Amino acid sequence: MAANTAPIFTKIGDVQWTTAAMTVANNTYNLATGTAYLAFSADSTNGGFVQRIRFKAGGANNASATVCRVFINNGGATGTTSNNILWDEISLPTTTASATAALAVYELPMNIALPAGYAIYCVVATAPNTGGWYATVIGGKYRSEEQTSELQSLA
């Protein structure tokens, strides 16, 4: 069997994010219980690529220190342990809202291709005081040639 020697690239940029601030504590290491926040869904037919995840505390609020755990899910129910893997963790510090200084952004590099239907979920281990944390995923979707032609004809 011949190996694929040609590199692949995403055909369209894909930026996704948690639709709400991560504020509910979930100290799980397997994603089988508690509140999890969907941060990214790979294209259901061709998969996707995740370059990195950016974490930012909610704007005008303070957030307490926590750890954010990032899971890869195979598209199945998150309540089934075998559908999830803990990919990585990132420490997120206490933040204090300010009118004169920007809050820092924290990044977790991933650089992985995800199969069709896979997803990335995040949990925070301790509940932030009032603000919460947002996760923004920077990546791309793989598209078939037909899908790319359709998109180009619409432009």
Of residues 107 and 5, more confidently modeled: 107
pLDDT at residue 119 tops 80: yes
3-state SS class at 34: coil
pLDDT at residue 40 tops 90: yes
How many helices (H) and strands (E) in the chain?
A: 1, 8
Residues 6+ positions from 23 with CB-CB distance below 8 Å: 124, 127, 128, 131, 132
Structure confidence at residue 63 (pLDDT)? 81
Alpha carbon distance 73, 87 (integer Å): 10
pLDDT at residue 148 tops 70: no
